[in-house]
């Protein structure tokens, strides 16, 4: 009963943020990028996965289930040769709960600067960075709660825009059934400064989902419903299959892939993802391929270590 009340309270506080909005009207679109190869291999259906360092991004409540210190680094090769990185660290037993911090970065490369008549004026760069801090606890048995705060800065040449935002989430586990259910929100905040005069809105997101470990098959299946403030509701499905003690296979599909279709032959793969993981002692090496259809594909590599 307490869990249902907490979920309802969280939803009522966050829900007005997601009313209305047109596709792509928010700024800081970088915040929609999936972080980590393991979640990306499952199409981002990760809100109800506990005990993984990337829960900092998807649902901060999930880091409360991490028992040992761990750190992670992800490299993402984006379309148009954009480069992105994600670094995270989690420290359990930080007071009554668990502390997590992360840095996400996107480098858009260099561009030619020209004046209105085409005269070459040199080059400029563009990038975005987000610093995130999260804290999670287990206030009741099998119930995890977490909050996070982030600072975001986006730069284009000599212009920049800054923002601050809050994240939060709840996760409830039913160990006897191998089931978890969760709800989270992210990017709810305020833009502090504009590139020139107009302040963009943040792409606030609400995620609801669950996961289930099958009894007679080494498979964890997960499902997410999510909505960004400037998009419609979408769904994502993911699965992680344990091939052996040291090898994992992941598959996923994100319904948002249908919005990427441009009536070309490559569209049939849009929204699909594939990944695998290898575990060696306390190290995990993960890779994920995500298809954007004819637009291109994303390749992520993650190295995670516990110590």
The residue ranges of every structural domain in the chain are 2-306
Q: Is the pLDDT of residue 304 over 90?
A: yes
Is there a contact between 59 and 173 (Cβ–Cβ < 8 Å)?
no
Q: Is the pLDDT of residue 11 over 60?
A: no
The pLDDT, as a whole number, for residue 9 is 44
- What percent of the chain is predicted at pLDDT more than 70? 90
The model's pLDDT over 85-123, given as tens digits with 9 standing for 90+, comes to 999 999 999 999 999 999 999 998 888 888 888 888 888
CATH of 2-306, one of 2.40.160.60, 3.40.50.1100, 2.40.50.100, 2.60.40.1930: 2.40.160.60
The pLDDT, as a whole number, for residue 23 is 58
Spatial distance between the Cα atoms of 243 and 47, rounded to a whole number of angstroms: 23
> Nearest CA to 229 among 256, 199, 254, 204?
204
- pTM, full prediction: 0.87
Is there a contact between 161 and 153 (Cβ–Cβ < 8 Å)?
yes
The model's pLDDT over 174-227, given as tens digits with 9 standing for 90+, comes to 999 999 999 999 999 999 999 888 888 999 999 999 999 998 899 999 999 999
């Amino acid at each position: 009963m307490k869990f249902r009340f907490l979920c309802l309270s969280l939803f009522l506080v966050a829900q007005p943020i997601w009313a209305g909005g047109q596709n792509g009207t928010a700024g800081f679109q970088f915040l929609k990028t999936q972080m980590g190869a393991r979640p990306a291999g499952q199409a981002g259906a990760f809100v109800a996965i506990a005990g993984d360092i990337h829960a900092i991004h998807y649902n901060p409540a999930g880091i409360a289930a991490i028992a040992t210190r761990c750190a992670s680094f992800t490299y993402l090769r984006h379309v148009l040769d954009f480069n992105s990185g994600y670094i995270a660290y989690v420290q359990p037993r930080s007071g009554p709960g668990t502390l997590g911090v992360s840095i996400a970065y996107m480098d858009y490369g260099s561009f030619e600067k020209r004046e209105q008549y085409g005269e070459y004026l040199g080059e400029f760069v563009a990038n975005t960075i987000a610093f995130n801090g999260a804290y999670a606890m287990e206030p009741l048995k099998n119930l995890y709660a977490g909050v996070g705060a982030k600072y975001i800065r986006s730069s284009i040449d000599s212009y920049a825009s800054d923002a601050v935002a809050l994240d939060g989430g709840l996760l409830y586990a039913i160990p006897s059934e191998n089931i978890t259910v969760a709800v989270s929100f992210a990017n709810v905040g305020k833009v502090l400064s504009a590139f020139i005069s107009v302040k963009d809105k943040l792409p606030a997101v609400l995620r609801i989902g669950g996961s289930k470990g099958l009894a007679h098959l080494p498979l964890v299946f997960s499902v997410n419903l999510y909505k960004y403030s400037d998009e419609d509701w979408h769904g994502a499905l993911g699965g992680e299959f344990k091939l052996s003690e040291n090898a994992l296979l992941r598959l996923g599909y994100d319904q948002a892939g249908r919005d990427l279709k441009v009536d070309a032959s490559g569209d049939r793969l849009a929204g699909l993802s594939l990944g695998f993981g290898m575990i060696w002692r306390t190290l995990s090496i993960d890779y994920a391929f995500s298809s954007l259809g004819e637009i291109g594909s994303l390749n992520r590599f993650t190295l995670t270590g516990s110590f």
